[in-house]
Structure 1
Amino acid sequence: MTQTEPPRFAAPDLRATPVRIVPKGGFDDWLATQDEPVRDWVEANGFDGAAGQILRLPAPDMSVARVLLGWGGAKDRARSRFLAAQAATALKTGTYALDGDLTANEWEEAALGWLLSSYRFSRYAGKSEPGPQLRAPRGIDAARIEAIAAGEFLTRDLINTPASDMGPDALEAAVRDLARTHGAEVSVTTGDDLLTANFPMIHAVGRAADRAPRLIDMRWGDSGPELVLVGKGVCFDTGGLNLKPGASMGLMKKDMGGAATVLGLAHMIMATGLPLRLRVLIPAVENSVAGNAFRPGDILTARNGLTVEINNTDAEGRLVLADALALADETPPDLMICMATLTGAARVAVGPDLAPFFTDDDALAMALQQAGRRVRDPLWRMPFHRPYETMIEPGIADLDNAPSGGFAGSITAALFLDRFVQDTPRFAHFDIYGWNPTAAPARPKGGVGMGARALFDALPKVLDL
C-alpha cells in the first residue's frame, strides 16, 4: 500500500520564523516587556493569550517577523490537546521555531502535535501539500518524536483505507512492508491451513469471505524481555448472518483498528530500538455472509480446547482474538497487550476519545495511566469484574460469545478474552474505537491511534528496560 510520507522536522540550519508561546496567565506582564509597536498591534488585534489564538507580527517590510500563539491556562490545556497544532494549521507554509517557557513534557507535546497536524489521507482524492515545517525544539529527542508520528501515520493510513483495498491479504502486505523496514521476520498461516495448525475460530469467522482468513505472526529482536502485541484484524464486519443494519456497517472498515494500532506501536518500538523481543499477532479476516458462514447456535472449539456457543455472529472479534491469545499464552511472554475495536458498550461508557483498558495488574495499570496523562493519550481503567463471569457461561458450552441482557458488554467481552490468557504474568486488553468523529488539533476526522503512545511511553518502566 502507499503510505503517507512520514513527517520530519526541518533542518536545523534553515532560517525559521519564531513562534512565541504566550500563556494567558501573566499576559499583561509579558506585554509590558514588549516595545510600543508590538503592544499596539497586539491590543488592536485583541490578542490576550487565550488558548489557540494566533497573531502574526509584521516586520517593517510587512513580512511576518514572528508569530504569537496563545497558550491559555491550565484548564484550557486540559480541555484541548496539541495547541501548537493550531499554529501549524493556521500558518500553512514556511519554516518555524517554537519559543517559550514550557516543561519538557509540554515541549514534546507541542513538537509532536505540529508533526501530527501535517497528516492528510490523499490516496483517493486530492494531494498532500507540504505544510509549515518546524525546527525541533531544543532538549527533545527529535528522532523519537518522528518515530512516534510515523507510527501514528501508519495506523491512520491502515484504518482509513477502505476494505476494497485493505482485506486480509493487504493487511498481510502492510505487515511484510513494516518487517522489511526493520529487519523483522513474518510467518503467515492462511485459509484451510488454519485448521491444520489449530486456529479453528479464526478459520470459522473468516471462511465465508473471498479473501482467505489468516494469522499473521511478526517477530523482531533477539534479547531482552518479550512483549506480545495482539491486534484484531477484522478488515470488514458485515455482522455475518446476524447482519448489521446499513447505518452500523458504514464504519466497519475500521474494525481492524486494533491491528493498525499495534502495527503503529510496533514501528515506534523498532524504529527507536527498544531492547526487547517483540512479537505481533494479527488474526486477519473478513466477517462475511455466504453459505459456509458460521451460524448462530454453532458451537466452536477454540485453540485451547474451550468450547464457545455462538449466540451472535456479530460478536466475532473476540473469537479470532481468542485463538491468537491462546497461541501467545503457550509460551508466556513477560507482557501481553491486546488491542481491538471490540464493543459498542465501551463507546457508550467513555465515548470516542478515551481508550478503556482492562488488567488485573495494579502496577501496570498505574504505569499506563501515568503515561497516558504524560503524553496526552488518555486512558481509562475498566474492571475485570469476576462476578460477571457467569454471564459468559451458557451451560451448553464453556463460553458464550454474546451474552443476552445487554449489561456490561465491554466487561463481559474482556472476561471472555481473559479465559485464553492463563499463564502470561502481565496482560492488558484495550477496547478502542480507532476513529475520530470530529476534527481536532493534530487529529483530523478519520482513523486514529488510541493507547499506542501511552504504551510506548510506559514500556521502559513496565519492562525495566
Structure 2
Amino acid sequence: MPLTFAVRGTPSLPLYLIAPEDLDATLAHLSPSQAGWVRAQGFKAAAGAVCLLPGADGIAGALAGLGTPQDRARQRFILGAVRTKLPKGTYHLETDLAGDALEEQLLGWLLSGYVFDIYAKKSAPEADLVAPEGLNAAGLEAIALGEALTRDLINTPANDMGPAELEFAARGLAEEHGAEIAVTTGGALLDRNFPMIHAVGRASPRAPRLIDMRWGASGPKLTLVGKGVCFDTGGLNLKPGSSMGLMKKDMGGAATVLGLAKMIMALELPLQLRVLIPAVENAVDGSAFRPQDILTSRKGLTVEINNTDAEGRLVLADALALADETPSDLLISMATLTGAARVALGPDVPPFFATDAQDATRLTNASVRVADPLWQLPYWEPYETMIEPGIADLDNAPSGGMAGAITAALFLRRFVTETPRYMHFDIYGWCPAPLPARPKGGVGQGARAILAALPELLDL
C-alpha cells in the first residue's frame, strides 16, 4: 500500500499545483509549446484537474488545479484526487502552498494510496511523490499509517472482526511499539467488576472483553477509551435490516483510538498513554439483557435499560469508570454512539463535548489547521433530568427522541467524577460516498485533530 513518499534524490518530474489566478504566471515559466498545449487543452486549474505536459521523450511533468478558495473550502485533500489521475512515475511538487495548507495536500496524496483489497483485488495509484525539502515526511507518513489502520479495522466485516480479532489487532500494535497489554475476557469480567460490558456481550458466542494497553514511562498521562461493539444487532430491541447493514462499523471508536495510538507511539510523543477498549458483540439469544432490566455498573450507579440498542454507552461506562479510578491529565472517549449526531451534523462533522472550555478551543483550532472537522456541542445541564428514570440512577435511552447526542454524553460524564478534563467524541466512522483521499468505507474522524492539539493540551 503506497502510503509513503518516494526516496529523496529519486529522479522526478515537476508537478505544478496551482490556483486559477496563478495559471498565467506558471505558463510563462513553461516552454512556448508546452504553454500552447495547456491552453489548447482548456486547463483552467479547476480543483483536481490535471494537464500532462509533453516532452521530447514523453511526459515532462504535469499541471494540477487547486481550484478557487471556495472550492478548497468545500473539498479537502485535492492533491489526493490529482494523484489518482496521474500516470505512473515519480513527481516533485512545485507550489506556493506552505505550512498547514501544504501538509493537508501532502497528506491527501498519501491517503489516496489507501485501498482495502483483502477480499477483492484493487489497484492503487502508481504515481509517487518526493517529499518537499523541510517537510517532516516521516510524521505525515505516521499519520497516514495510523489512519490506514483505522480504516482497515472498520472495513473488515464482522465475521472476521469480532472481539477476539479486535484484541489481536491491539496486541499486534502493542508488540510493534513495545506497549504492555492486558485483556479481561468472558466471565472474568464479572469477577473483576465490569458488569455492563459482560451484560451487553454475554448473548454472543464470541466472548466480550476489556482490552487495556499502556505505553510510555514518563510525561503527562493520556487515556483513550474506544467503543468496540464489533457488530450491533440492537439486541432484543432488534434493528431493522436497513439500520443493521453498516453495523460492522460500530467498533469505529475502538478503531479510531487504535489508529491515534499508532500515530502517538510512532511519533514517540513524550507522554504516558493508556488505551481501553470494551470489545463486544451485541447479539440475541436467551441470555441477552432485556428492556426494563436494571444493571449495576462498575461505578455503582444503577442503569435502567429502556432500549437494548443503546448498548454502546453501557460498555463505555464501565471502561470510563476504570479509567477514572486512576485519573489522567486528559481522558478522551470516542464512539459511534448516536444517530442524533448524524441528524444534527451529517456524516462529515462529528460533535465533541469537553468539560474544559480551553481544551475545546484548542481542539477546535487544531481541527481547522489540519482539516479534520469537529463541532462542539454542550454538556447542557438542564437535560440531566432526561437521563434520570426514577426507578434507577440512570436511563440508557431517554424517551422523546430529543437531544440524543447530548443526553448520551451526559450519561457518560456521570462515570467520570475524578478526572477534571474529559472529552467525548460522537463519530460516524464512515464515508458514504467516495471523496478525494477518502474512498467509500471506514474513515478516521477526530484523531488528527487530537494529535495536532496534544502539544497544547498536555504541554508537550
Asked whether the two chains share a fold, i.e. TM above 0.5, the reply is: yes
- What amino acid does structure 1 have at the position aligned with 2:56? P
1:422 corresponds to 2:425: no
Alignment partner, residue 25 of structure 1: 21
Alignment partner, residue 220 of structure 2: 225
Q: Deviations over 1:238-274 (max 9, x none)?
A: 0000000001000000000000000000000000000
Distance in 1 between residues matched to 2:123 and 2:23, nearest whole Å: 37
Query: Would you say the 8 A contact 1:281–1:324 is kept in 2?
Result: yes
Alignment partner, residue 42 of structure 1: 38
Alignment partner, residue 455 of structure 1: 450
Q: Secondary structure at the match of 2:258?
A: helix
Match of 1:131 among 126, 129, 133: 126
TM-score of the two chains, using structure 1 as the length reference:
0.97
Pair 92,411 (structure 1): closer, same or farther in 2 beyond 3 Å = farther
Alignment partner, residue 196 of structure 2: 201
Q: Deviations over 1:213-262 (max 9, x none)?
A: 00000000000000000000000000000000001000000000000000
Shift of 1:151: 0.2
Query: Would you say the 8 A contact 1:209–1:289 is kept in 2?
Result: yes
Alignment partner, residue 291 of structure 1: 286
Q: Secondary structure at the match of 1:91?
A: coil
Query: Would you say the 8 A contact 1:96–1:135 is kept in 2?
Result: yes
Alignment partner, residue 122 of structure 1: 117
Shift of 1:128: 4.8
Alignment partner, residue 83 of structure 1: 78
1:251 corresponds to 2:251: no
Pair 417,6 (structure 1): closer, same or farther in 2 beyond 3 Å = farther
Alignment partner, residue 426 of structure 2: 431
Pair 121,92 (structure 1): closer, same or farther in 2 beyond 3 Å = farther
Aligned-residue CA RMSD (Å) = 1.1
Q: Deviations over 1:349-386 (max 9, x none)?
A: 00000121001211111111111111110010011001
Query: Would you say the 8 A contact 1:52–1:71 is kept in 2?
Result: yes
Pair 60,442 (structure 1): closer, same or farther in 2 beyond 3 Å = same
Q: Secondary structure at the match of 1:72?
A: coil
1:396 corresponds to 2:391: yes
Q: Deviations over 1:60-106 (max 9, x none)?
A: 23x11010011122211111111111121101421111111112112
Residue segments in structure 2 that go unaligned for 5+ positions in a row: none
Q: Secondary structure at the match of 1:96?
A: strand
Distance in 1 between residues matched to 2:30 and 2:326, nearest whole Å: 64
Alignment partner, residue 164 of structure 2: 169
Distance in 2 between residues matched to 1:305 and 1:250, nearest whole Å: 35
Shift of 1:434: 0.2
**Which consecutive segments of 4 or more residues in structure 1 shift more than 4 A?**
127-130
Shift of 1:130: 5.9
Query: Would you say the 8 A contact 1:107–1:137 is kept in 2?
Result: no
Distance in 2 between residues matched to 1:254 and 1:301, nearest whole Å: 27
Alignment partner, residue 210 of structure 1: 205
1:381 corresponds to 2:376: yes
Q: Secondary structure at the match of 2:229?
A: strand
- What amino acid does structure 2 have at the position aligned with 1:310? I
Q: Secondary structure at the match of 2:303?
A: strand
Q: Deviations over 1:181-215 (max 9, x none)?
A: 00000000000100010000000000000000000
Q: Secondary structure at the match of 1:143?
A: helix
Which moved further from structure 2: 254-263 or 67-76?
67-76
1:179 corresponds to 2:174: yes
Q: Secondary structure at the match of 2:153?
A: helix
Query: Would you say the 8 A contact 2:34–2:54 is kept in 1?
Result: no
TM-score of the two chains, using structure 2 as the length reference:
0.98
Match of 2:316 among 321, 324, 334: 321
Distance in 2 between residues matched to 1:129 and 1:224, nearest whole Å: 39
Q: Secondary structure at the match of 1:25?
A: helix
Distance in 1 between residues matched to 2:85 and 2:207, nearest whole Å: 45
Match of 2:256 among 255, 261, 264: 261
- What amino acid does structure 1 have at the position aligned with 2:437? A
Pair 391,352 (structure 1): closer, same or farther in 2 beyond 3 Å = same
Q: Secondary structure at the match of 2:415?
A: coil
Distance in 2 between residues matched to 1:367 and 1:117, nearest whole Å: 28
Shift of 1:26: 3.6
- What amino acid does structure 2 have at the position aligned with 1:293? A
Alignment partner, residue 336 of structure 2: 341
Distance in 1 between residues matched to 2:38 and 2:272, nearest whole Å: 54
Q: Deviations over 1:150-202 (max 9, x none)?
A: 00000000000000000000000000000000000000000010001000000
- What amino acid does structure 2 have at the position aligned with 1:45? Q
The size of the alignment, in residue pairs, is 460
Pair 286,92 (structure 1): closer, same or farther in 2 beyond 3 Å = farther
1:54 corresponds to 2:16: no
1:14 corresponds to 2:5: no
Distance in 1 between residues matched to 2:351 and 2:258, nearest whole Å: 19
- What amino acid does structure 2 have at the position aligned with 1:17? L
Which moved further from structure 2: 129-138 or 271-280?
129-138
Shift of 1:127: 4.4
Alignment partner, residue 445 of structure 1: 440
Alignment partner, residue 143 of structure 1: 138
- What amino acid does structure 2 have at the position aligned with 1:437? P
Query: Would you say the 8 A contact 1:341–1:431 is kept in 2?
Result: yes
- What amino acid does structure 1 have at the position aligned with 2:132? P
Shift of 1:38: 2.3
Query: Would you say the 8 A contact 1:104–1:140 is kept in 2?
Result: no
- What amino acid does structure 2 have at the position aligned with 1:398? D
